Amino acid sequence: MAEEIKNTAPQNFKVTIDNITIDVLAGTTILNAARMIGGEVAPPAMCYYTHLKDSGGKCRTCLVEVSKGSEKDPRPMPKLVASCRTTVMDGMEVKNITSEKVLDARKGVVEFLLINHPLDCPVCDQAGECDLQNLSYEHGAVQTRYEFARRTFEREDIGPYIQLHMTRCILCYRCTYVADQITNSRVHGILDRGDHSEISTYISKAIENDFSGNMIDVCPVGALTDRTFRFKNRVWFLKPMDAYRDCDKCCGKVTIWNRGDEVYRVTARKDQWGEVQKLKDGKPAWICNTCRFDKKHVTDWTIEGPTKIDRHSVIAQGHYAGNVGMVKPPDPLNKVLAGRSPHLLLNIHDQSEVNTPEVHLGENEGPSVYETFNGEPQAQGHNVTDVKIGDGTNEKETDSINPNV
C-alpha cells in the first residue's frame, strides 16, 4: 500500500467542491481540499485536527455528499461521507453547502452534540472561541427538542494546571491523541461507553506532563480549561499578541492574551481553522507548560505584533484601530452559486423605483412621495392637505405635519 501511494504522490487530482474546481495532491482529504477554497465551502470539523494522527471521523459534522466518485467510477457514494477521513479521487464531485441532504444531516449532528451539552456559555471560559458555539450558530436549529435531564459530571482538577469539566465534553478524543502523540505518557482516556462515557484519569491521577497544556488548545469546547485563567477575563476583552521567548523545551512562539502589563493567558498560535500553526519546518508549534502557565508578565516576552484575527470572530471586536490584525476570510459564495443570484421572495427593486435612473429626484414639485421628492420639503402647491409653510396650526386637523412649527 505504502508503495502505491508513493507512486501516485506527485500526481494532481482535480476535485470539484460546491461547483469550485481545484487541483490538489493525491492523498489529500476532501476537508483539506475544501479548506484550500476556504470560507463556507470548508465543512466544520469538531474532532479532526490536522496535526493529530488518526483524529477525525467521529463527530460527523464534516459529512459531505459525494455526487460523483471519480472520473473512472462516476457512481455517487451511497451515504454521506466524513470529509476529514475520505481522500479525494480524480474528477470527484463533492457537495457541501449545495446539498440539502448535507445541511439536514449536519443540523441533526449539531442537535445531537448539544443535547448533552450544558449551554453554560455565559460562564464558560471557552465562550468566544468555542468551536461548538460557532457550529451551532451556523448550522444549529433555533430551539432544542430535547426535554430530558442532561448527563452531568462533577468538575475535576486533572493536575495542577488543567480542569476537566466533563459535562461540556463532546467526546472528540483530541486530548487523548495529544497525550498519545505529543507527551511521553498518557494517563487519561475514555472510561465506559456510549453517552455515559467520560474522559478521565484512572483513579484520579494527575496529568503532569510538560506538554499537557496543549490539551487545552485542542479542546473544541470548554471541557478542558486553563486553571490559571479560569474566570479571570473574557477572551474578547483581551488583546492577543504574537510573542516569543527563548525556551529550551519548545519553540517559544506563542500568542499572549494581555491587558496592560498583565498577561492573562498564553496559548499556542492558532491558524484560521483554530488549529496550532505550523512552524517553518512544517512541525506544529506546540508549546510547553512553562511558557503557557508560568510566564505571565509582558517582560517575559518579546512581542512581535498583534495576532491576526478573523474579523468575523468576536475576539476581533473593537481591539485595534484601523483594523490592524484583522483578516478578511475568503468569500467563495459567488463562485458556489455560479453567477446565479438567490431567488428572493420580495425583491425591493421590483417594487420601488427609487433607485431607477429614469427618476430625477431633485426635479419634482409637490409632495414628498418617492416619485417627486428632491430633498427639500415642499409643503405647498399640490399638497394633499393644502397647508402652507408658516400657516400656523393645522386648523382642518388633518394628519399633515408642518415642518416649521
Interaction site with other proteins (CB under 8 A): 1, 56-61, 63, 79-80, 82, 85, 104-105, 108-109, 111-113, 115-116, 145-146, 148, 170-171, 173, 190, 192-197
147 or 397, CB closer to other proteins? Answer: 147
Q: What is the rounded CA–CA span in Å between residue 61 and residue 90?
A: 24
What region does 204 belong to: left with phi over 0, alpha with psi -120 to 50, or beta?
left
Q: How would you class 58 by CB atoms within 10 Å of its CB: exposed for 0-12, middle for 13-18, buried for 19 or more? A: middle
Closest distance of CB 139 from other proteins, Å: 13
108 or 118, CB closer to other proteins? Answer: 108
Closest distance of CB 4 from other proteins, Å: 10
For 98, 100, 311, the CA distances from 166, given in Å and listed in that order, are 35, 33, 31
Question: Alpha carbon 328 to chain centroid distance?
Answer: 13
The amino acid occupying position 14 is: K
Q: What is the rounded CA–CA span in Å between residue 341 and residue 95?
A: 18
Tell me the β-bridge partners of 63: 82
E strand map for 71-176:
81-82, 92-95, 156-157, 162-164
Closest distance of CB 80 from other proteins, Å: 6
Q: What are phi and psi of 252, to 5 degrees?
A: 75, 5
- Reported as half-sphere exposure (CB side, CA atoms, 13 A), residue 13 has a value of 24
Closest distance of CB 79 from other proteins, Å: 5
Closest distance of CB 343 from other proteins, Å: 27
193 or 280, CB closer to other proteins? Answer: 193
51 or 106, CB closer to other proteins? Answer: 106
Closest distance of CB 312 from other proteins, Å: 25
DSSP state, residue 131: H
Closest distance of CB 374 from other proteins, Å: 57
1 or 203, CB closer to other proteins? Answer: 1
If you count them, how many residues does the chain have? 405
DSSP state, residue 163: E
**3 state SS of 53:** coil
3 or 363, CB closer to other proteins? Answer: 3
Q: Are 276 and 268 in contact (CB under 8 A)?
A: yes
Closest distance of CB 305 from other proteins, Å: 39
1 or 344, CB closer to other proteins? Answer: 1
What helix, strand, coil percent values describe the chain, rounded to 5? 25, 20, 60
Closest distance of CB 124 from other proteins, Å: 19
Q: Are 59 and 47 in contact (CB under 8 A)?
A: yes
198 or 391, CB closer to other proteins? Answer: 198
Closest distance of CB 181 from other proteins, Å: 16
Q: What is the rounded CA–CA span in Å between residue 208 and residue 161?
A: 8
Q: Are 205 and 157 in contact (CB under 8 A)?
A: no
112 or 236, CB closer to other proteins? Answer: 112
Straight-line distance from the first to the last Cα atom of the chain, in angstroms, rounded to the nearest whole number: 88
- For residue 162 the three cell numbers come to 488543567
166 or 268, CB closer to other proteins? Answer: 166
Q: Are 268 and 285 in contact (CB under 8 A)?
A: yes
